[in-house]
Amino acid sequence: MRRTVVIFLLITTMLLSGCLYPNNRLAKNQVPNDVQVDMVQEAVDQYVEQTQGLVPINTKPEDTPIFQKYILDFAKLKEYSLISSVPGTAFENGGNYQYTLITPEENPTVKVIDLRIAETIRELNFKINAFRSEHIYPPFGEPVTNFMYEIDYKKLGLEQAPFIVSPYSGNNIPILISAEGELAVDYRSDLYQVLEEQDHHYQEGDDIRYLLTDYYPFVPAYSIPYTLQDGEPVFAPNLPK
């Protein structure tokens, strides 16, 4: 009886401390809150001021897509004693998010990338590359435009069309494939919702993906540009990625 009580107390202690919870359920790995983002933003602002305009980022190739290009380097912030610890939600501390900057030259602004999206894209790319090794062409499905297609998921042996959970709406949104075989998350439904609900200054010819970063801490990673046409979001492949 005593042994049973001891075991029960040990299990209870482990549960309360989080030892039996998988990493993705620990509080530190949940969605970054305003306090965390604001803390990092303040550190970045101080870094920029102290270094006469430099930004604390890891160098990426020039052709890296814009929302994955300016990944925050926490080591540089620590070097200047601007942060005492990396946020628990950050990849560097076991979290699901990668902290990044947008508009680094004009107004360095801290945002985050949901790395679960990156993992979904990576796994899907693996399946598509395996398919192409036998069939040459990607598994194109129905055309969405003359350069973007749905993915024929049945050819890949999947039970449903691939999607990610939107960090903006929480809805399932599709992953499409370009004529060149590149994957892209389709954020049109999220953009449409924000266009309907929020004021904005964007016009035809602008990259309206920044509309999402105006109101949310997340960047629309793994996407192609969108612009406005008759007040609605449309793909704009000629804009810089």
Q: Give the pLDDT of residue 34.
A: 81
Q: Give the pLDDT of residue 37.
A: 94
In angstroms, the CA 73 to CA 70 distance is: 9
In angstroms, the CA 15 to CA 130 distance is: 42
Q: Give the pLDDT of residue 32.
A: 76
Specify whether the CB–CB gap between 45 and 125 falls below 8 A. no
Q: Which residues contact 151 (CB under 8 A, 6 or more apart)?
A: 124, 128, 139, 140, 141, 161, 162, 175, 176, 177
In angstroms, the CA 226 to CA 207 distance is: 5
Name the one residue in this structure whose structure tokens are 């947008």. Answer: 102
Nearest alpha-carbon partner for 59 in 48, 46, 72, 49: 72
Cα distances (angstroms) measured from residue 165 to each of 14, 60, 114, 174: 31, 27, 10, 9
Q: Give the pLDDT of residue 178.
A: 96
Residues of the chain with pLDDT under 50: 1-28
Q: Give the pLDDT of residue 30.
A: 61
Nearest 5°: the CA angle 98, 103, 108 is 70
Q: Give the pLDDT of residue 13.
A: 38
- The ranges assigned to domains in the chain are 20-114, 116-235
